[in-house]
Chain A
Amino acid sequence: MLDVVNLRHTYGQGPSAHHALGGIDLKVAEGELVSVVGPSGCGKSTLLRSIAGLIEPTDGHIRIRDGHVTGTPGDLAVVFQDYSRSLFPWMTVGENVALPLRRRGMGRAARRAAAAEALAEVGLPGAEAKYPWELSGGMQQRVAIARALAYRPTLLLMDEPFGSVDAQTREDLEDLVLKVRELHRMTILLITHDIDESVYVGDRVVVLTKSPARVAGELSVDLPFPRDQIATRELPAFVHLRAEVGRLVRAKEPLPPFHASQQA
């Protein structure tokens, strides 16, 4: 579904050039939720911005469903970390969610209905007439998620989507992502610097090295669904995976592979 081959990106030129991406290979299958985690400043956002078509990478290929990415792909939505700057403060919540749907060729009534439905799905039923700045941070990020949902993308990119909300809200939003993903069978690439989060929401965790970023390792997350904030996090497999990801992020030697059958 998403195929990233040897992606490189360098900001600037000459001695002051910053090599953000040093050749990244990444595949995401249809319906998969892949977390990308890495040390802060490692180029995670550069990777996401390249896939979203917001920057043109220096080298490498990005294919989404066999189509090369040049410019912004039409079937893609992004949830940014900074919801307060990503939502438009001069529009109501309903208008914010409905705005991108014009491109889908939907009439006014259909757009409005789709916005209402998406807002209900993220737990904000009837919030259409409010303005984003009348809502709390967590609720604003829910609006941003609703905007992405209503757009019905084949690929959803999330750039540290829960980095600016408090811990309780973060957990609620993680579960919301898992719920809507289940509901819509969406393919999601979620970028985070939070190791616990990468394991908790992911089917697979891809760990990046410091910049210039490469893939340091990949871990498949074989945790049962539905995931639960308390029960999942206390599973030995979760604890082990978290340690494993942590080691990769800090570039330490990995442990021998863990098998759930060894414990329990």
Chain B
Amino acid sequence: MSAATTLPPAEVTKRRARGGRLSALVTRVWLIPVVVAAWEIGTRQAASAYFPPPSQIVARAYELWFSGPAAHLFLTDDALGDFLPSLARLFGGWAVACVLGIGLGVALGRSRALAGYIDPLVEFGRAIPPPALVPLFIVIFKLGTEMQVATIVYGVIWPILINSIDGARYVDRLHMDTAEVFGMGRAQRLFRIILPAAGPKIFAGLRLSVALAVILMVLSELVGSTDGIGYQLSYTQMNFDLAGMWSVIVLLGVLGLVLNASFLAVERRVLSWHRRARQTT
């Protein structure tokens, strides 16, 4: 008889659950080291200048960005000079898009008359691919931060706007009736009823927009910039620093992952009522 069968049933399930979690983690991540190893071996074998092995990319990334003094959290001046402006544009553009998108979206969602006028414009606006407007923004704002922020705002506002309209439009009528009966004012209705009720939809839009914001940040910096992560990408490419270019690509992947994970963590907190309410009903 094996040891497990003599354990009390509760203990067996607990162990199984623990083992289950560990094996679930292993099944989720085992492929990553395998792919990296295969990539390393493959690129070394091929010895192509365009495809440096991962070890070389990591070394180059360390050299470029992470070999700075301890006082700067080991970041080099290059890293500070590239990351900070990029992140500022990314978050600045995203924040402006959030405020505009949610504000306009809720207003449009709550007013049928307004929505009737604006809906066709929204549909048209979102059909224009954001890169198509970059030349226009360059003319209006000249090369620089303003043009880049404008590109990001224009590109990411649509999912926020459309989801906010949708969320605000379909607030349960009984919620609004209850607010009316108990005499809640406009501000209280907006912040305590409409925004929380539309929250799940709004967050779905925000999550899409975070991913779009990274794309548009890189795009706007590739086209016209003298600093930033996107600029670093084209700079390394022009100087035939292929390992450096790959470092930027990997860095952007990591940035996207980190942003998405942090966003999900915030969403889980803010919408915990929604997740748990759905589990119980």
Residues of A within 8 A of B (CB): 49, 52-54, 72, 74, 76-78, 80, 82, 84-86, 88-91, 99-100, 102-103, 131, 133-134, 147, 151
Judge whether B184 is part of the interface by a CB distance below 8 angstroms.
Answer: yes
Known: A86-B175, A89-B277. 18 other contacts (CB 8 A): A49-B177, A53-B180, A54-B180, A54-B181, A78-B178, A78-B181, A85-B175, A86-B174, A88-B193, A88-B197, A89-B274, A90-B274, A100-B183, A100-B184, A103-B182, A131-B276, A147-B182, A151-B182
Judge whether B103 is part of the interface by a CB distance below 8 angstroms.
Answer: no
Judge whether B123 is part of the interface by a CB distance below 8 angstroms.
Answer: no
Contacts of A49 in B (CB 8 A): 177
Contact mask for chain B residues 182-223; partner A; CB cutoff 8 A; 1 contact, 0 none: 111100100011001101000000000000000000000000
Interchain CB contact under 8 A, B276 and A88: no
Range for the number of chain B residues in contact with chain A: 20 to 34
The answer to whether residues A99 and B192 also contact, given A77-B181, A77-B182 and a CB cut-off of 8 A, is: yes
- How far in angstroms is the closest Cβ of chain A from B275? 11
Contacts of B2 in A (CB 8 A): none
- Can you identify 25 A-B contacts, CB atoms within 8 angstroms? A49-B177, A52-B177, A54-B180, A54-B181, A74-B183, A76-B181, A77-B181, A77-B182, A78-B181, A80-B177, A80-B178, A82-B174, A84-B281, A85-B172, A85-B175, A86-B178, A89-B273, A90-B196, A90-B197, A90-B273, A99-B182, A99-B192, A103-B184, A131-B277, A134-B280
- How far in angstroms is the closest Cβ of chain A from B278? 9
- How far in angstroms is the closest Cβ of chain A from B266? 16
* Complex Cα gap A90–B198 (Å): 11
* Complex Cα gap A224–B192 (Å): 44
Quick one: closest A residue to B181, CB to CB?
A78
Contacts of B178 in A (CB 8 A): 78, 80, 86, 88
Contact mask for chain B residues 48-90; partner A; CB cutoff 8 A; 1 contact, 0 none: 0000000000000000000000000000000000000000000
Contacts of A82 in B (CB 8 A): 174
- How far in angstroms is the closest Cβ of chain A from B277? 4
Contacts of A52 in B (CB 8 A): 177, 181
Contacts of A86 in B (CB 8 A): 174-175, 177-178
Contacts of A72 in B (CB 8 A): 180-181, 183
* Complex Cα gap A147–B182 (Å): 10
User: What is the interface of chain B mostly: helix, strand, loop, or mixed?
Assistant: helix
Contacts of A151 in B (CB 8 A): 182
- How far in angstroms is the closest Cβ of chain B from A92? 9
Q: Which of B177, B180, B196 has most chain A Cβ within 10 Å?
A: B177
* Complex Cα gap A88–B177 (Å): 12
Quick one: closest B residue to A157, CB to CB?
B181
Contact mask for chain B residues 257-281; partner A; CB cutoff 8 A; 1 contact, 0 none: 0000000000000000110110011
Contacts of A131 in B (CB 8 A): 273, 276-277
- How far in angstroms is the closest Cβ of chain B from A156? 11
Contact of B276 among A80, A102, A133 (CB under 8 A): A133
- How far in angstroms is the closest Cβ of chain B from A24? 20
Contacts of B174 in A (CB 8 A): 80, 82, 85-86
Contacts of A54 in B (CB 8 A): 177, 180-181
* Complex Cα gap A151–B181 (Å): 11
* Complex Cα gap A14–B191 (Å): 40
* Complex Cα gap A80–B180 (Å): 13
* Complex Cα gap A100–B193 (Å): 12
Contacts of A133 in B (CB 8 A): 276-277, 280-281
- How far in angstroms is the closest Cβ of chain B from A225? 29
The answer to whether residues A88 and B277 also contact, given A76-B181, A100-B184 and a CB cut-off of 8 A, is: no
- How far in angstroms is the closest Cβ of chain B from A242? 31
* Complex Cα gap A131–B280 (Å): 11
Quick one: closest B residue to A76, CB to CB?
B181
Contacts of A100 in B (CB 8 A): 182-184
- How far in angstroms is the closest Cβ of chain B from A100? 4
Contacts of B197 in A (CB 8 A): 88, 90
Contacts of B273 in A (CB 8 A): 89-90, 131
Q: Which of A49, A52, A76, A102 has most chain B Cβ within 10 Å?
A: A102
Contacts of A78 in B (CB 8 A): 177-178, 181
Q: Which B residues between 144 and 189 are near A, CB-CB below 8 angstroms? A: 172, 174-175, 177-178, 180-185, 188
Quick one: closest B residue to A133, CB to CB?
B277
